Amino acid sequence: MQPWYLSIRILLLSFLLYWPASGQFDVRGPQLPVIALVGEKAFLPCYLSSSMDASSMNITWYRIGRSGFVYAFRNGKDYTEGQAPEYRKRTELLVENITNGHVLLKIDSIHPSDGGIYTCDFVSSTYFEGARVKLLVKNALDLSISSWTVRLAMFMIFLDIFLITTCIFYACSNLVKEDEHNVHPHLVIW
């Protein structure tokens, strides 16, 4: 039989294992996809759910399905060893609000192949957590086609209104002409 104090120690240890650590945090990204145009810049936001200073954390961005990382921030500086070649000299972490736990990954000169799901990982000395951000890449032509579709639809509506108005006017003017030629004896105008 075990002494009672040993049982209490085991119970306390079990309880402490499930107690959340003081350095835990949640990482969040936008609910909706980020949309960027080919050739333009994209800004991917990522932030800690509670306002917490992340300047001493390591922050790494990955692209799901690709080797290497997109961007890494370690010890307060850019870290490029192991960075995927297609993102070299095109990425920058905007850290103006890092003391509040907010960062933005800027990707310059967006390529169609940049579209996909990215992960943003925050790593502290005691904990790590990440979030996903979806990037949709659109061609400027795609957007102009949709605006041309709207313009064409508006033009067709105005054309229909014009044709209907013209037909009504023409029909009414023919009725008036017929009435002028067919004088009705019971309708005498004085």
Q: What is the pLDDT along the chain (190 residues), one digit of tens a residue?
A: 445 443 444 433 343 334 444 568 999 999 999 999 999 999 999 999 888 899 899 999 999 998 899 999 998 888 989 999 999 999 999 999 999 999 999 999 999 999 999 999 999 989 999 999 999 999 877 655 556 565 666 666 766 776 777 767 666 666 656 666 665 555 555 5
Q: What are phi and psi of 22, to 5 degrees?
A: -70, -20
Query: What is the rounded CA–CA span in Å between residue 54 and residue 164?
Result: 65
Q: How far apart are the C-alpha atoms of 100 and 55, rounded to whole Å?
A: 9
Q: Do residues 49 and 132 share a domain? A: yes
Number of structural domains (the chain) is: 2
Q: Does 103 reside within a domain?
A: yes
The 8-class DSSP code of residue 64 comes to T
Same domain assignment for residues 170 and 103: no
| pTM of the model as a whole | 0.63
Is 49 in contact with 27 (CB distance < 8 Å)? yes
Q: Give, in degrees to the nearest 5, the angle at Cα 157 between 156 and 162.
A: 95
* Strand ranges (E), 71-183: 71-74, 77-78, 91-94, 102-107, 116-123, 128-138
Question: Residue 70 falls within a domain, yes or no?
Answer: yes
